[in-house]
Chains A and B, each alone.
Chain A
Amino acid sequence: MSLIARHLESVGIATTSLSSAWSITASANPPRVRFFDAPLGHTAGPPRRPDAQRTLVAEALELATRALDAPVIEPSSVTWIEAPAEVWKAEARALADHRSPRHDTPQYDRPDDAEAASS
């Protein structure tokens, strides 16, 4: 996604980003990032906490209001309270491959979705 941010910014379209993967995002070096320290899969906020989601998104948008001459990554004020940090971070650091097989046909969330898409 940082490649998209850098490209858009280079062609005149302002961007701001969210991220929960500091090293990956910092390596790709996009212009503006609000960092949410949470397990992957929740970049835009904790589930079913609309106030926290709104705060996080507002904090990402706020970065675009600043006159910056260098890229910035700033932590959000929103915290992940769904699990103790030492627990979820230990799981995230475990040497396990959680990916599922990569199929080259549409992978529907629910069986009915395939029928809805073809009708």
Chain B
Amino acid sequence: MPIEPPGDLDVVDYIAQTRDSYAQLGYDAYRWARNDDPPAMQPPVDLASARVALVASGGIYRVGQVAFHHADDTSHRRVPMSSDVADLRVSHFAYDTTDAKADPNVVFPVEALRALEADGTIGSLAPDGLTFMGGIYSQRRVREELIPAIEAELREMEVDLVLLVPV
């Protein structure tokens, strides 16, 4: 069974919200990923010596790159972790991007990670963050197209730990 939130935490149940909204609109129910089998678990990481990569699905691209389209775009972008946040842009259809446009760190925490590298909390950052537009309805295409591409990039950058930031 999925992990339940603590009793004192009143979380918004977005699965229920989506189900009820779709029903009201006359759509078929969206099938969220459900995995009752436990995930593989890697051993602990020593942060102070770890090379850390950022993978984020908020639709961030850098000026000069082609923006994401919104019809199951499974492509990704390499966004240098040295980027000025003023050069970061947002392209996504499924969430309110107002704050992400004003401060891309809310979905692509590049400045927080740079600060944690500077103070020695983490060993180093991978040179590029990997970004995509996470509103992909086909789980098959995520598995067959996006995931192998992300894995290949991470292997090339020889990372020890990946921080994943969905929206």
Contact = CB atoms under 8 A, between A and B. Distances in A.
Interface of A: 1-19, 21-31, 35, 37, 39-48, 50, 53-54, 56-58, 60-62, 64-73, 75, 85, 89, 92-93, 95-110, 113-114, 116-117
B70 A102 contact: yes
A71 B115 contact: no
Given A26-B4, A75-B9, A2 B33 contact: yes
Interface of B: 2-6, 9-17, 20-21, 24-25, 32-47, 50, 52, 55-58, 61, 63-71, 89-91, 93-103, 105-109, 111-113, 115-116, 121-122, 134-135, 139, 142-143, 146-147, 150-151, 154-155, 159-167
A26 B151 contact: no
B154 A8 contact: yes
A92 B11 CA distance: 10
Contact of A47 (B106, B111, B113): B106
A101 B163 CA distance: 30
A84 B48 CA distance: 37
Given A50-B112, A65-B45, A109 B9 contact: no
B59 to A, nearest CB: 9
